Structure 1
Amino acid sequence: MKIVITGGTGLIGRHLAPRLLSLGHEITVVTRNPERARSLLDPRISLWKGLYDQASLDGFDAVINLAGEPIADRRWNTAQKERLCQSRWQITEQLVALFKASARPPAILISGSATGYYGDLGEVVVTEEEPPHNEFTHKLCARWEQIACQAQGDQTRVCLLRTGVVLAPKGGILGKLLPLFRIGFGGPSGSGRQYLPWIHIDDMVNAIIWLLDNDLRGPFNMVAPYPVRNEQFAHALGHALKRPALVRAPAFAIRALMGESSVLVLGGQRALPKRLEASGFGFRWYDLEEALQDVLDQTSSR
């Protein structure tokens, strides 16, 4: 296949692109910074500096849309919320316009979203059919999905990635937590009872390839089959590092530091990959401790 990827230098894209290359696909990455992308990506990958110079997507078989400003890197204010939204909505609108301008559009658009689509649902078991809470993360993801679905037609199917916390070497949640946990200052956040839907990067990549290769469409929870509570995650990470995980971060301190974005830490979703499993996809990583140990081994080897 000839595949276009946006967000190809991000956490997921950096692992997905080489895997697709190894399977014989031709990859083009859309980037705002070709020099940085060239230093990070395989030289066989073609680069586009944005989408403005493209008239259509004729000649391509698939588009994987992973672009977006990192949601947890900055405190949310009005301007930051707008950046978070527009960094996702605008490029998706551009892609949809290119699909519609194509005489033979790609057969599939796989577009990003997140389990934040559902909002904070506490103890509720969340499948793709669960109605969401009307929070900022839902509004962001719902509009993102609505735009992507406009590409769907007789020649194109659309799959939506409602992704949980991705466990990967170098970056993501572990990039933020490992420095604290390694010096013994790690532990649960708030009550620790909130659910944390997680997925190993290998399963994330394999699931995207599964969607590429099978006639599927609609939303998919990109999470491991066994979500854990925040305190379980902290204990498992401490155990994998052979460090204590007893320093609890109080909810009031997290709210004071992060403001409204503290919902990303203090809230959660007990999300299950119902539609992925029903389609026949097989997960490699079910057990959190094993998944963490594998990622930490990769981190050490790098």
Structure 2
Amino acid sequence: MMKKWLGILFVCGVLSALAVTVKCTEDGEQKEFQESERNGCRQNREGGKGTEMRREKQDKRESAIRIPTVKEVSDNPYIYRYNHDLGRAKGLLSKDCLNDRYLRLQAVYRANLDAYLREVLDIETLDEELRNSRLGFVSHKSGKQNLYERGSAMGLEFIYLRNNLYIEYLDEEQLCLLERRQETGKHPVTDEIKAMVTETFREIIRVRDPRDWEDRSSFLYPEVQGQKPMIPNHALVLGIANDMEYDASGRLAPDAFRREKYEFLDRIKKEKEREYSRITGVKVYILIE
């Protein structure tokens, strides 16, 4: 009888021990799972923070559009073509001069117009062709770049938008759209702004006569490689940089490919003016500068 009770007690003890072991194992697994879950959340949060930091760095890098100084623009021969009455009414001029607000919003508009043109035209491919040509085309060094090259957001070596942009012809809502984006400090190009630019750029690029704001005649561009081209004042104008190299005495350096370069650029100019005019629905001119 005693042996029987001892056997029963032994079995109960084993079962209790097993139960405790199972419970400890379950608790341990639960604890381990909870800790793993917490670690996972922590990793996700840390990963999220890392992603946000990377995104912020990217935004800062991409938002670095160049805004010209008031002096740079004042020295530009187009300055008298601005509509000062409209500019003053919309807070874009100070003491009859373009102010910082005008130049900031103009830079955002230009970045979006540049982005649109890169999307619809093959200017990136053309720029690459110029860079890799056996003819050895030379772009302008930073010290020789004009106002439009310096302010370009296209990111290309040779090609840039040559038009001045008269943003005083935008309405208040459109100006506010540009300003809100500029104040975020983020990348200036958005689908919303680009859509607005696509609809408005034909009026914003138009060079008007201060004596007749509805004038649609031709405009005499500043001298370009020995010429002063007459271009319709409503045309979209692109520039292609073609620098000349000089020797130590200041004379034009010998260039075995000079004639071929001129022939190539002349052909490209004619072909692309027709092609780009058809694509954009506006007359396109290309200046070789």
TM-score (norm 1): 0.24
Report the structure, 1 or 2, having the larger helix content: 2
Report the structure, 1 or 2, having the larger strand content: 1
Q: Which has the larger radius of gyration?
A: 2
